[in-house]
Amino acid sequence: MTRFIVAFLGVTLGLINISSSLAMTTDELLQQVGRHVVKVQVGLVNGGYGLGSGVVVAKDQVVTNCHVITNAVSVSVNANGENFSASALKPDWHHDLCILKVEGLNVPIAKIGSSEQLKYEQAVYTVGFAGSSPRPNGTFGYVKGLYPLDDSVVVRASNTFRLGDSGGGMFDETGNLVGIITVKSPGHNAFYYNMPVEWCSAC
């Protein structure tokens, strides 16, 4: 009996250590992929302003949602506390994905993965600038649906997001960018959808 208890405690402690290790890995991964995500600030025609997020996908290039910059008279990107003006725009309004040209942006480029290779219940991580947060916020969740559309898949995940997260990144377990945070359904039991990273190359 004593041997059984010792063995049981050993297994239990092992599981606790594994869980702690996984938690640390999650935190480290969110911190790592957060380096690729920037805040998008928009000046509007009515004198107001809007906020969103973006992901650095190439040198001096940031992908965000087109709805983030709709009716904008000015667009800037904030990275590491420094503002950069967006001088050009390459839009794909049909897929709600726009590429911003941001000269001098010294931010690591995200590694591009594949939305099409995702599996149901696969772990994914989302990062964006919800509200007026000065730092990116990360969430952990799982793929809950893959919907074929235009030669790729729109990804539904359990990761929640809020106003300001639009245009942020969804990453897989190895830190590859696999989707762009885009839209949620209305209501308290909302579904959360991410546009496939494959569409970014079509912008």
Could you read off the pLDDT of 27-46 as tens digits, one per residue? 888 889 999 999 999 999 88
Burial class, 117, CB count within 10 angstroms (exposed 0-12 / middle 13-18 / buried 19+): exposed
Tell whether 157 is covered by a domain: yes
Token output for 43: 């000046």
The answer to the question of residue 30 being in a domain is: no
Rounded distance, CA 157 to CA 146, Å? 9
d(CA 178, CA 169): 8
Give the 3-state secondary structure of residue 147. strand
Please indicate, yes or no, if residue 132 is contained in any of the structural domains.
yes
Q: Choose one of 76, 101, 126: the last residue of a domain.
A: 101
Residue 16 maps to a domain: no
Same domain assignment for residues 148 and 88: no
Pair of tokens at residue 191: 């579904």
Q: Does residue 24 belong to any structural domain of this protein?
A: no
Total count of domains within the chain: 2
Q: Quick one: DSSP state of residue 56?
A: E
pLDDT (0 to 100) of residue 22:
41
Whether residue 82 is found in the same domain as residue 117 = no
Same-domain check for residues 131 and 90: no
Alpha-carbon distance 128 to 31, whole Å? 12
Whether 157 and 126 share a structural domain: yes
What's the predicted TM-score (pTM) here?
0.85
At 49-83, the pLDDT tens digits run 999 999 999 999 999 999 999 989 999 999 988 99
Query: Quick one: 141 and 123 in the same domain?
Result: yes
CATH code at 166?
2.40.10.10
Question: Which residues lie below 8 Å from residue 51, measured CB to CB, with a gap of 6+?
Answer: 39, 40, 41, 42, 129, 131, 132, 163, 164
Is there a single domain that holds both residue 170 and residue 190?
A: yes
**In the listed set 56, 74, 101, which residue is the last one of a domain according to the structure?**
101
Distance CA 168, CA 194 (A): 9
Domain with 73 in it: 37-101
